[in-house]
Chains A and B, each alone.
Chain A
């Protein structure tokens, strides 16, 4: 024999279906009104999902960029101290401005600070790079073979230069992906040569594209040449370019001497980053009278980005809550009007045997249908909008799985919450009074 409970659940299921069908019919009777009511919820749900997707995408992008810099890393850059700028502007030919990070700094950091895993010095020289007659403004980065390891920067083609090449001061180079795009637009650069000044460099590899990460790397915010980078061995750079950098400016020669433009300090673990950063700051403050360097800790940027994201989420959440609240009030308003309008129907149903709870269920079903339809349309719109944003503006958007689910559940919940009062009001009517209602 079949379980009697099966029968009950089957009956109540088909009953539920009939109640919902009845609700659809009643709502259909005032199609436009129902549709307009639903719009409130549609926009609410859609904006929640879309805003979350855009916010999530933007913060993901930012975090990805910061993470690419290495969350264990501390980045140091040489900067020209502000008070010396004047001097150099009016400087004589013989004046050589000396500032920035030094090899002494590097040695001190390596030798005195516990928790430092690796350091990576780099010299950055601005110059033109030539491929036959094609010319690009470029940052020439002289660094060590462990650059890809320390900076978490992968090789797309070929290889990075080696210790042997470093020791022999070989004229080899690795290009950034962006530079390859503009310097070798048609064919593979591997094995080819580029010219810098009077020297030719053999191309042994191409780095992976990093997008706008490079914009964060240096103080030279986001100009094109910041993406255009060419990596050569540090010793080669020292030999070929020297340490004094000369530039002709408004008729006079301007010289500056910078030992190291960048130092990357890699801590052993992310937990140690904060302490190591403190120690590095102390070491540098001892060695430098002027503030001719800049320190950047990606991990702290990451933390800040995460905090920003949290605030963003709270703000979005409140906006969403308010828009859904407004939608809910709209539904309640319409349902109250509908209850008054259908007083007689309620009276008829009560006379024909409907219990109070049947009336409550009927009206609740209608509100839930309204808000549920709004929720579904809203989810559809909320999935379309981020797609359109990505498609047309190229912005990254990420729809988290929980976002549509949460938005839909909240809209359904709003329907139930705001439907309860009108439904109870309908059920509380006296059948005799309701039947007399015109």
Chain B
């Protein structure tokens, strides 16, 4: 395992089973995966194939039933709830399909949330949030509430929020699923920019044109990796 770049993440035979009443559901049946810095990975597959489960595991929202998960060299598969929260706030950035902004907060306050839970002082986090709002082109909307923004603008706020903690890995769950094609392609252009600046992205999508933008497409079926193609 002593290849040149240190991997961003490494899954070793990760399994996840759920118990739904009497039935035990195997959502992930032994997935091993390694993602290097700067990769742009798309995860595709039919619904129920385990995409969401995998994304939740990668996002440290859930723990594998067995197997090991290293994130930035740290084994996070056995951490307790508080430590997982710390990993989420320091190492990960999330972008959701439905933006998931907090309605009672303004744009800039939404962007700041991860730093708030890291305990960064308000002045510093405000400065970084304003900087990132310029990056996503929303510097004039800092004090707006989410419901005053279009879908595309809301998703850009979400991206700024995902970037504010300078994460190792950005996880996006169908980030263009709720958007029209124009604002969807704006979002994808932003992702391209991020990748150019060296960020590592993992993105779940149904849309083959979205996955074409990445350098690697992972197809899942029935909780297993069906194919893992590198391209572009």
Contact = CB atoms under 8 A, between A and B. Distances in A.
Given A18-B116, A348-B113, 13 more contacts: A15-B119, A18-B122, A348-B101, A349-B113, A352-B94, A352-B113, A353-B117, A353-B118, A355-B85, A357-B82, A358-B117, A432-B62, A435-B100
What are the 5 closest A-B residue pairs judged by CB atoms, nearest first?
Answer: A353-B89, A353-B117, A355-B85, A353-B88, A29-B104
Nearest to B117: A353
B94 to A, nearest CB: 5
A356 B85 CA distance: 9
A355 B103 CA distance: 20
Contacts of A28: 104
B119 A352 contact: no
B223 interface: no
B207 interface: no
A79 to B, nearest CB: 76
B104 A354 contact: no
Contacts of B119: 11, 15
Interface string A1-45: 000000000010011001000100110110000000000000000
B198 to A, nearest CB: 22
Chain A, interface size: which category?
20 to 34
Contacts of A26: 104
Contacts of A228: none
A194 B161 CA distance: 94
A353 B114 contact: yes
Contacts, number: 72
Interface of A: 11, 14-15, 18, 22, 25-26, 28-29, 344-345, 347-358, 431-432, 435
Judged by DSSP, the binding face of A is helix
A350 B61 contact: yes
A356 B81 contact: yes
A14 B125 CA distance: 13
Interface residues of B, number: 29
Interface in B33-60: 56, 59
B143 to A, nearest CB: 13
Interface of B: 56, 59, 61-62, 81-82, 85-86, 88-90, 94, 96, 100-105, 113-114, 116-119, 121-122, 161, 165
Contacts of B117: 349, 352-355, 358
A11 B119 CA distance: 8
Contacts of B100: 344, 347-348, 351, 435
A352 B59 contact: no
Contacts of A25: 104-105
